[in-house]
């Protein structure tokens, strides 16, 4: 499965997906990385991995629809069969989602539907929740609200060092996003309404630390 990644920032998730695709853990190949930010480190990370990487400047387009048309044209040129949002800080337009034939995935740092939006971890912290985590989901028109593929829960202690906690969240993200992409690329996900069912194949499961709950469980290699 050919994958295009849209990202706005540091690109650690993009990097994890690229590494998994290069080391043979995925039946997927990253063929394009696009960013709306000129200096986003994700572009350099992709270039370092010899993956076509491009900045598309939103200021050069009259509307979000026009910008998304340019994105669609780049994605079509790469023949990507799936689009993965990895810290992409713009909302995709309705028109993008209607016109892109393949699935679009996103990763979000909370247990959705709690704490959608740009500040999932800070919002969870301010709310005083004791457990938060990460979700990978299909993208639909409602921000962070598409059908859920996989979630991981991580306790958030009152005295948590938030830099260390962020690192923990990222470490989980870098496992569950490639796993979700692998399930998709192997045609193991069935979507009916909001329910996403994973087709089991008896693949051995990964060892998961006891303070971390991930469902469906990760398979060996992730």
Nearest partner of 29 among 51, 66, 9, 1, judged by Cα: 1
Kindly state the helix (H) or strand (E) to which residue 108 belongs, with its residue range.
strand 104-108
For 125-192, give the DSSP string.
Answer: HHHT-SEEEEEEEE--SSTT-SPEEEEEEEE--TT--HHHHHHHHHHHHHHHHHHHHHHHHTT-EEEE
Applying CB under 6 A, among 13, 36, 151, 179 the residue interacting with ligand GRF is 13
Q: Which is nearer to ligand GRF, 107 or 152 (CB)?
A: 107
Q: How far is the CB of 63 from ligand GRF (least distance, A)?
A: 24
Q: Which is nearer to ligand GRF, 31 or 134 (CB)?
A: 134
CA dist 46 → 23, 42, 123 (Å): 15, 6, 30
Alpha-carbon distance of 208 to 62, in angstroms, equals 47
Alpha-carbon distance of 192 to 145, in angstroms, equals 15
Measured from each CB, the residue nearest to ligand GRF is: 87
Token pair recorded at residue 60: 């050069």
Q: How far is the CB of 133 from ligand GRF (least distance, A)?
A: 10
**74: helix, strand or coil:** helix
Q: How far is the CB of 7 from ligand GRF (least distance, A)?
A: 6
Q: Which is nearer to ligand GRF, 169 or 189 (CB)?
A: 169
Query: Per CB under 6 A, does 10 bind ligand GRF?
Result: yes
Q: How far is the CB of 134 from ligand GRF (least distance, A)?
A: 6
Query: Per CB under 6 A, does 173 bind ligand GRF?
Result: yes
Tell me the per-residue interface mask from 61 to 90 with ligand GRF, x by CB under 6 A, - otherwise: -------------------------xx---
Alpha-carbon distance of 53 to 4, in angstroms, equals 10
Query: Per CB under 6 A, does 12 bind ligand GRF?
Result: yes
Backbone conformation region of residue 96, classed left if phi is above 0, alpha if psi is from -120 to 50, else beta: alpha
Q: Which is nearer to ligand GRF, 60 or 173 (CB)?
A: 173
Query: Per CB under 6 A, does 109 bind ligand GRF?
Result: yes
Q: How far is the CB of 131 from ligand GRF (least distance, A)?
A: 17
Query: Per CB under 6 A, does 108 bind ligand GRF?
Result: yes
Residue 88 CB contacts under 8 Å (≥ 6 apart), including other chains:
6, 7, 8, 36, 106
Q: Which is nearer to ligand GRF, 25 or 111 (CB)?
A: 111
Is 137 a known active-site residue?
no
Number of neighbouring beta carbons within 10 Å of residue 63: 11
So which residues are the catalytic ones? 108
Binding site for ligand GRF (CB under 6 A): 7, 9-14, 86-87, 107-109, 173
């Amino acid at each position: 499965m050919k994958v295009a990644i849209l990202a706005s920032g540091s690109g650690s998730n993009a990097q994890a997906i690229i590494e998994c695709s290069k080391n043979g853990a995925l039946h997927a190949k990253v063929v394009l990385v696009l960013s709306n930010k000129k200096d986003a480190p994700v572009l350099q990370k992709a270039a370092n991995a010899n993956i076509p990487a491009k900045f598309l400047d939103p200021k050069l387009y009259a509307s979000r629809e026009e910008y998304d048309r340019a994105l669609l044209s780049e994605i079509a040129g790469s023949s990507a069969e799936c689009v993965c949002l990895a810290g992409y800080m713009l909302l995709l337009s309705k028109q993008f989602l209607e016109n892109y034939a393949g699935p679009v995935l996103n990763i979000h740092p909370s247990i959705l539907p709690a704490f959608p939006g740009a500040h999932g971890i800070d919002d969870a912290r301010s709310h005083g929740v004791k457990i938060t985590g990460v979700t990978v989901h299909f993208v639909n028109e409602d921000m962070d609200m598409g059908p859920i593929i996989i979630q991981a829960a991580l306790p958030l202690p009152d005295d948590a060092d938030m830099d260390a906690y962020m690192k923990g969240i990222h470490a989980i993200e870098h496992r569950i996003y490639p796993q979700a992409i692998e399930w998709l690329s192997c045609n193991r996900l069935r979507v009916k309404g909001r329910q996403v069912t994973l087709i089991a194949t008896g693949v051995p499961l990964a060892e998961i630390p006891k303070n971390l709950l991930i469902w469906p469980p990760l398979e060996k290699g992730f």
